[in-house]
Amino acid sequence: MEDGLCPVLLVDDDPFVIAGVKLLIDWKENGFLPPESASSGQEALEKLKSLRPGVVICDIVMPDLSGIDLLKQAEDEFPCTVFIMLSAHEEFDLAQKSMRYRALEYLVKSNLEQETLEAVLKKAKLERENRRKLRHIEEADEYPEPAPRRNGLRERVQRFLSYGAELPPEDKAALAKEGMLNNYGFALIPLDFAVLPEYPEITPEERRILLDWEIELTRRLGTSFFSHILLFPYSMGAEDGVIGEAETLLLFAWGMTRENWESGTEKFREQLMKTSLQITRLGADVLASPFYAEPSSESPADDLFFMAEKYRAKGKHSGALQRAQQYILDNIQKQIMVQDIAEYAHISTGYLSTLFKKEYKRGLVDFINHVKIDRACVLLRANKYLIKEISYMLGFESAFYFSRVFHRHTGMTPSEYQAKHAPRTKA
What string of DSSP letters covers 261-276? HHHHHHHHHHHHHHHH
Tens of pLDDT, residue by residue over 379-417, are 888 788 899 999 988 988 888 889 999 998 889 999 998
pLDDT of res. 238: 39
The type of residue at 187 is A
Lowest mean pLDDT among 19-33, 79-93, 298-312: 298-312
Q: Find out whether 315 and 286 touch, Cβ atoms under 8 Å.
A: no
2-136 has which fold? Rossmann fold (3.40.50)
Which parts of 280-348 fold into alpha helices (H)?
300-314, 318-330, 338-345
pLDDT of res. 149: 52
Domain 147-313 has CATH 3.30.70.270: yes
pLDDT of res. 141: 40
Residue 86 pLDDT more than 70? yes
Residue 177 pLDDT more than 90? no
pLDDT of res. 34: 92
Closest CA to 186 of 303, 57, 335: 303
Q: What percent of the chain has pLDDT over 90?
A: 19
pLDDT of res. 258: 92
Who has greater pLDDT, 26 or 297? Answer: 26
pTM, full prediction = 0.49
Tens of pLDDT, residue by residue over 21-76, are 999 999 999 999 999 999 998 999 999 988 999 999 999 888 888 888 898 888 77
Residue 365 pLDDT more than 80? yes
Q: Which CATH superfamily is domain 319-421 in?
A: Homeodomain-like (1.10.10.60)
Residue 376 pLDDT more than 50? yes
Who has greater pLDDT, 97 or 396? Answer: 396
Average pLDDT value for residue range 313-335 = 73
Who has greater pLDDT, 317 or 72? Answer: 72
Tens of pLDDT, residue by residue over 132-166, are 766 654 333 444 444 445 557 888 888 888 766 56
Lowest mean pLDDT among 1-5, 68-72, 309-313: 309-313
Q: CA angle, corner 308, sides to 306 and 314, nearest 5?
A: 95
Where do the domains of the chain lie?
2-136, 147-313, 319-421
259: helix, strand or coil: helix
pLDDT of res. 144: 44
CA distance 199 to 370: 30
Average pLDDT value for residue range 120-137 = 76
Q: CA angle, corner 140, sides to 137 and 141, nearest 5?
A: 135
pLDDT of res. 64: 83
